[in-house]
Structure 1
Amino acid sequence: MPPPAAPRLYAHLRLAQLFGANTDVGKTVLATALCRASVRAGEQPYYLKPVSTGPGAEADERHLARYAPQTRAATLHQWALAASPHLAATQGSQAVPSDAELVAQIAEHIGSVASTSSAEASSSAQQHSALYVETAGGVHSPTPAGGSTAHALRPLRLPTLLIGDSNLGGISTTLSAYDSLLLAGHDVRAILLFADRLNAPMRWGNAEYLKRWGEEHGVPVFSVAGPDATGSLGPPPPKREGDEQEMEAFYEGLAGGSEAGEVIKLLRREHEQKMAELAGMGQRTLDHCWWPFTQHTLAKTPQDVNVIDSASGDFFSVFTAASSSQGQATPTPASALQPVLDGSASWWTQCLGHSDPGVTRAAARAAARYGHVLFPMSTNAPVLRLTEAVLGISRGEKGSDLAPILPASHGPGHGWASRVFFSDDGSTGMEVALKMAIASAALHYAGPRAPSAVQQRIARGKEAGGAGGRAERTWEVIGLKGSYHGDTIGTMDACEPSTYSAAVHWYQGRGAWLDPPSVGVHDGRALVTQPDGETRQYASIADIYDVETRLASDPLAESYAAQIRLWLEHLTVTQGRRFGALVIEPLILGAGGMVFVDPLFQRVLVDTVRESEDLFSLVDPPLRDQRRVQPRTGTRDPSDWRGLPVIYDEVFTGLWRLGQSAPARVIGTTPDISVLAKILTGGLVPMALTLASRSIFDTFARSEQKVDALLHGHSYTAHPVGCEVAAEALRRISRLDKTDETWSAARQDWNAPQAAAGEEAKGKIAPWSFWQQSVVERLSRSDAIASAMAMGTVLVVNLRDSNGGGYTSTASVELLQQLRHAVHAESSELRFNIHARPLGNVVYVMSSLNTPPAVRRATEEMLCAALGA
């Protein structure tokens, strides 16, 4: 596995890559001209052709040696067959590099040139060099391994020059290539193309048209022309034997012309501007931006700011001021841009890596077709397709707008949800869920809203001191301690008092919260730990997550049920409180500290709440005695919610984050409402879905009065870009689940073969993780770690903290500094740092669903090294 390739940036070495709008548009000729112009500008030019096809005697490197002899030219791979690289590579005897290997080789060559040019610059007056990387064929010409050149080279993201097509049809070809490069994430600095020869029998006018287009769109376009034997300016002369002198004259005129020199000035100016801009972004951010969840007094210098120039795959490309050398050449320069692993998956949003071509195209596709269109009383293909996918409905034909994107069984709402409500983020999605649930409970237990005249008549009696004896009780929720459901007012009130709400003066804490037992690996042992510290050991993590077996045989099941029932009786009968929903984060409490909750406890909690309608039916006393609303079991459908509406907050844990399409498959029982976000759109755009059962929807569809509707929404509800992106992300993830060998290997490592449909329905889901089981056990034995745990993409370590831990703990500070700046995997060829965000004394790393195994293995080694495991 090659090292991760981040963009390269050096103060003394200017880089540029040349893409062609098509084959035979003059890339090599213009590269040669730019090398000669660099010499005139006082730069030492370098040239690299990563992939070359055709006879070696005709290689572009030889052309540079003949017409730009001061250039140091090199070729990485040469195949004799004059054909597309993916075909030529099959005819040669040399090994065919993967796209990642090819990019790593280019990055290594750039580093070598940087070292050489820096050493030479320190002993001469020539302080600047330029390296031109010429690609093969057109923008999407295949690499030797068969990938797209534009996408393969994206991790390097070198400043790009697009060589336009000056031939018939070249305007369309050039603009299409430009759009393709932008869509692939490249930084196109300018377009270069040859001008028509004045005495040509037919002039296409491509250069003139593209110059006007460039002025309108802010893209520099350079029309390049050199002399022929008659002195007429235009494109290069045709190839023929003995044309060296004529070609030399062409180059001399071309390099000495104003256009080539202006290109060099532009590239040098933008290179210097980028260095200065990156160096200043940290301070500008400190001066004007307000970060979330951050105490700004802790960021004291610009070096404390993570300046991200770009991102690709699992890595940020981060500016490192110490590496930039501030314009001074050093014997062994480091790139000012370094690869840093996005260890938090950018706050849990990433699942296919940054700048994934598939989801990027989906966003562009929907943006070009719709932009944004309103949703009330309307529909469109992306929103309908996504809706039916998450509900597990298979309709539409292959190739149509409404073709299914998921197998029905993979839909997280399959078998229980009937409606999807769209919002913009997880917190808002949970606000919607709370409105749905509490309105449903109020209608069921309190009956329809009384007419306004009646409400006014009885209001005085319900006031404190009135005839009714006390004010009407408020609606509350039941949840778990350590929960976090977002930062909007309603979702904060649905959580116990915590660091998140301590300074929020309108916080009221409308609920009651149980302290849940947790799951973890302690010193190699799989334990369930109760809130009082008592532990119960199991043979394996898989045994802990075999919920159905434990329901029948584990004494904890009966104990949990008795404790929960007693607690509910105390809340409702003794304290007289009224509840409208059970709200849980299934399997893991995320922001509350990455706590893996005992799945048996959550299953028993849901079951007990649903079986306790007799407690939740207690109503406000009219005058004296408390009475009950009789449960309307005789008139209710078996699929209706029971006890309380159950909400699963799956913003973090849903959609394969934990290895399953829905955490309900592990717990063994479905919710009445669930919320999906983050991973939903592959981390590209904000969107959330609130799924609801039929009986929840019916709460709001019982009349034709608008006041009875769910009056919630925002301007970008169900925006087509988000829906199209989500559909593409889910399609890709589902395909990984079925076909990716990495998933299969990870399941085998945890002895968790993919469950059959029948086993899923019965809760027979074995847990598994992309992180190695042996590493979890190894970490758990470290003296610095209290426990470790992994599931799906998430790896968590709880550090020992003599001060008790918690969100305000600083126990992880030193470890995070090591991961960010110092520790590397000694036994791996990979070299990168890790950016991670702590949760007090809890440190976690999170991969994408398609992270290369070598990256995960190197990350594991770095964690073990830093923790002495």
Structure 2
Amino acid sequence: MHGAEDADKEFVWHPYTQMKDWAGWEGRVIVRGEGFYLVDSKGRRYLDGTASMWCNVWGHGPNEVVEAMRDQLKRLQHSTLFGLASEPSARLAEKLTGMAKGMDKVFYTDNGSSAIESALKMALQYWRNRGKPEKTEFVSLEHGYHGDTAGAMSVGYIEQFFGAYKPLLKKVHRVPSPLLYGSRFGNEKDLVGWCIEKTEKALEKIGGRCAALVMESGAQIAGGVNIYPRGYQQKISQLCKKHGVLLILDEIATGFGRLGNMIEYEAQKSRPDIVCFGKALTAGYFPLAVTMAGDEIFNAFLGQYSQNKQFYHGHTFTGHPVGCAAALANLELYEKHNLMQQINGNAQYLESRLAEFEKISIVADVRHRGLLAGIELARNGKPLMQLKNKERLNYFVMGESLKMGVHLRTLGNVMVVIPPLAIDRDNLAKLMDAHRELAKKAEKL
């Protein structure tokens, strides 16, 4: 018999991980959760500083969401949405369409990447059903990330991640992302004006062949924590309407409170044609995502069966009853605990703590909104990817943070603050203390 650590080293292939390096590290296998902490097989506790890949809301352990999942498992474990309906999926769809203004229908998937794939296929078939099959091209933002499936990689292409998969991908037109740091502009107004000008020129060049523009809503996270300047997303929305292009918004990581708003596109005044949600939808307890659209999109798929207008997309676990039950209970808890008020209070505290990083010489830029922040590290004007002792920054941060009892990961040279959404003030303070200590240590190494 193998211990948990030995079994993991021998059999598990970890995502986005160099397994040659993993084999030399001390194995840490998580066996349970307690509040906002993860506990490994040796009893060591780690503050969940990454919100378990940006999705955890309430922490870990028994709560109303878990009870709702158990209750659903007793009544109906799984049934298909292929030609049948289920009570939890119907109730959740009604709840979501009431929350997301302008969205009238919900298409269920299992994860964010699949939600984006659904949106892309939906956009292409919408135009075909409307008699405009020439509209097949997409526009997306530089530094965007939308998932790891083929379509999602195409619109959210990051060379370091996806270079090996280029033969699989569709050509997509890329327009500038409004990141002030490292740009030639001295203020956000001039930067936004330039980005909008470049985007409009791209749309004009593509002309009637453009099906949709795809972008993350409110901020880009995986591409380096790029917070959009106010007004930028609204201007993009206006451009799409002007040029007859669908707007697909990705709120998989930025929706449900991460940036301080329940529905981010409403705060951005940029109503989409199609929008995707995931991650925090089920509090991180079950794989579930949705692609939502308005009636104008949906109605284009109606017709006689012989017309072949129906949407040819679906998954075995589409609209899983347990996931839908979790999402319903989760959204009820948001209201019961007035979570948005707590998030915005913690966002103010986070902003005050981020001021401490201005005194650290390797901190080149700090970007923040809601319960998301990016602390960009640089030395001599160059991204700090490797310390003076040749240790990689991402390995240093992960290894040292675990010694502190906190689990953290970087995005390249950007330290990311992205805690569970319901984190309490004491644990948020501990998280910020760890980030500050790590930045100070890296400054000396």
Q: Same fold (TM over 0.5)?
A: yes
Deviations 1:428-487 (A, max 9, x none): 11111111112223444626xxxxxxxxxxxxxxxxxxxxxxxxx782211101111111
Provide the C-alpha distance between the structure 1 equivalents of 2:301 and 2:344, rounded to a whole number of angstroms. 44
Match status 1:291 vs 2:14? yes
Contact 1:816 1:836 in 2 (8 A): yes
Evaluate the alpha carbon distance shift between residue 784 and residue 568 of structure 1 in structure 2; reply closer, same or farther with a 3 A threshold.
Answer: same
Distance 1:301 1:743, change over 3 A: closer
Q: Which has the higher contact order (CA 8 A, sep 6+)?
A: 2
Letter in 2 for 1:310: R
Partner Cα distance (1:709, 1:669) in 2: 28
Number of the residue aligned with 2:119 = 433
Unaligned runs of 5+ in 1: 1-275, 320-335, 393-410, 448-472, 519-527, 538-553, 613-642, 747-768, 823-832
Q: Which residue identity lines up with residue 118 of structure 2 in the other structure?
A: V
- Evaluate the alpha carbon distance shift between residue 685 and residue 806 of structure 1 in structure 2; reply closer, same or farther with a 3 A threshold: farther
Q: Decide whether aligned partners of structure 1 residues 667 and 654 sit closer, same or farther in structure 2, where only a CA change above 3 A counts.
A: same
DSSP 3-state at the match of 1:479 = strand
Q: Deviations over 1:182-239 (max 9, x none)?
A: xxxxxxxxxxxxxxxxxxxxxxxxxxxxxxxxxxxxxxxxxxxxxxxxxxxxxxxxxx
2:153 to 480, 485, 492: 492
Deviations 1:48-100 (A, max 9, x none): xxxxxxxxxxxxxxxxxxxxxxxxxxxxxxxxxxxxxxxxxxxxxxxxxxxxx
Which of 363, 366, 369 in structure 2 is aligned with 1:785?
Answer: 363
Aligned to 2:61: 355
Partner of 2:395: 813
Q: Which amino acid aligns with 2:146?
A: H
* SS of structure 2 residue aligned to 1:654: coil
583, 601, 613: which one aligns with 2:214? 583
Identify the residue that residue 654 of structure 1 maps to in structure 2.
255
Counterpart of 2:112 in structure 1: which amino acid? G
CA shift, 1:298, in A, is 1.2
1:357–1:674 distance in 2 versus 1, CA, 3 Å:
same
The residue type equivalent to 1:860 in the other structure is M
Unaligned 5+ segments in structure 2 are none
User: Which residues of 2 match residues 41-60 of structure 1 at below 5 A?
Assistant: none
1:864 to 408, 433, 436: 436
The two structures have a TM-score, normalised by structure 1, of 0.48
Q: Is the 8 A contact 2:225 2:373 kept in 1?
A: no
Matches within 5 A, 1:433-472: 433-444=119-130, 446=132
Q: Contact 1:499/1:807 (CA < 8 Å) preserved in 2?
A: no
Task: Work out whether residues 771 and 795 of structure 1, in 8 Å CA contact, stay in contact via their aligned partners in 2.
Answer: no
Q: How far off its partner does 1:587 sit? A: 1.6
Distance 2:169 2:219 in 1: 25
> How far 1:386 moved relative to its partner?
0.6
Equivalents in 1 of 2:250, 2:340: separation in Å?
Answer: 28
The corresponding residue for 1:418 is 104
Aligned to 1:611: 242
Is 1:337 the counterpart of 2:60 in the alignment? no
Q: Contact 1:648/1:674 (CA < 8 Å) preserved in 2?
A: yes
Indicate the residue corresponding to 1:679 in structure 2.
280
Aligned with 2:28 (options 279, 302, 306): 306
Q: CA RMSD in A?
A: 2.6
Q: How does 1:313-332 map to 2 (within 5 A)?
A: 313-319=35-41
The equivalent of 2:74 in structure 1 is 368
Aligned to 1:592: 223
Q: Give, in whole Å, the separation in 1 of the partners of 2:202 and 2:61.
A: 49
CA positional deviation for 1:793:
2.3
2:329 is matched with which residue? 728
Letter in 1 for 2:323: G
Distance 1:302 1:858 in 2: 25
Aligned pairs for 1:121-520 (under 5 A) are 280-301=3-24, 303=26, 305-319=27-41, 336-392=42-98, 411=99, 413-414=100-101, 416-444=102-130, 446=132, 475-496=136-157, 498-504=159-165, 506-518=167-179
**2:202 partner letter:** W
Among candidates 170, 175, 197, match of residue 562 of structure 1: 197
Equivalent pair of 1:516/1:598 in contact (CA under 8 Å)? no
Distance between the aligned counterparts of 1:807 and 1:440, measured in 2? 44
**Structure 2 contact 384–393 (Cα < 8 Å) conserved:** no
CA gap of 1:510–1:355, structure 2 versus 1, over 3 A, is farther
Offset of residue 557 of structure 1: 5.9
Which residue of structure 2 lines up, in the alignment, with residue 330 of structure 1?
Answer: none
Q: Output aligned runs, 1:778-857, within 5 Å.
A: 778-801=356-379, 804-805=382-383, 810-822=392-404, 833-857=405-429
Query: CA deviation digits over 1:567-589, x for unaligned, max 9?
Result: 333344xxxx8221110001221
Q: In 2, Cα distance between the equivalents of 1:384 and 1:729?
A: 16
1:602 aligns with 2:226: no
* Partners of 2:345 and 2:226 in 1: CA distance: 26
- How far has the Cα of 1:593 moved from its partner? 1.9
AA aligned to 1:731 is E
Cα offset, 1:426, TM superposition: 0.7
**Shift in Å at residue 597 of structure 1?**
2.6
Task: Assess, with a 3 A threshold, how the Cα gap between structure 1 residues 644 and 286 changes in structure 2: closer, same or farther.
Answer: same
- Map 1:525-536 to 2 at 5 A: 528-529=180-181, 532-536=183-187
> Hey, what's the Cα distance between the residues in 1 that align with 2:401 and 2:192?
41
Shift of 1:774: 1.7
1:788–1:797: 8 Å Cα contact kept in structure 2? yes
| Secondary structure at 2:397 match in 1 | helix
| Cα distance change, pair 292–801 in 1 and its aligned pair in 2 (3 A) | farther
SS at match of 1:776: helix
Shift in alpha-carbon separation, 1:283–1:496, aligned structure 2, 3 A: same
How many equivalent pairs are there? 437
Q: Which residue of 1 aligns with 2:268?
A: 667
Following the alignment from structure 1 to structure 2, what is the Cα–Cα distance between the partners of residues 561 and 705?
42
Q: CA offset at residue 738 of structure 1?
A: 6.3
Report the CA distance shift for 1:714/1:480 in structure 2 as closer, same or farther (over 3 A): same
Cα distance change on mapping 1:383 and 1:850 into 2, 3 Å: same
Q: Separation in 2 of the partners of 1:474 and 1:670?
A: 21
**What SS class does the counterpart of residue 114 from structure 2 fall into?**
helix
How far did residue 296 of structure 1 move? 0.6
Question: Alpha-carbon deviation of 1:647?
Answer: 0.6
Q: Is the 8 A contact 2:227 2:369 kept in 1?
A: no
Contact 1:733 1:849 in 2 (8 A): no
* CA offset digits 1:138-166 (Å, max 9, x no partner): xxxxxxxxxxxxxxxxxxxxxxxxxxxxx
Check 1:706–1:779 CA distance in 2 against 1; reply closer, same or farther (3 A cut): farther
3-state SS of 1:446 partner:
coil
- Pairwise CA distance, 1:806: 9.0
Counterpart-to-counterpart distance in 2, 1:738 and 1:292: 31
Contact 2:150-2:169 at 8 Å conserved across structures: no
Residues 688 and 806 from structure 1, CA distance in 2 versus in 1: closer, same or farther, beyond 3 angstroms? farther
Amino acid aligned to 1:423: T
Aligned counterparts of 1:284 and 1:380: Cα–Cα separation in 2: 38
CA apart distance, 1:780: 3.2
Match of 1:52 in 2: none
Partner letter of residue 609 of structure 1?
Answer: C
Sort the Cα spacing of 1:307 and 1:710 in 2 relative to 1 into closer, same or farther, 3 A. Answer: same
Deviations 1:587-629 (A, max 9, x none): 22122222223242222122112212xxxxxxxxxxxxxxxxx
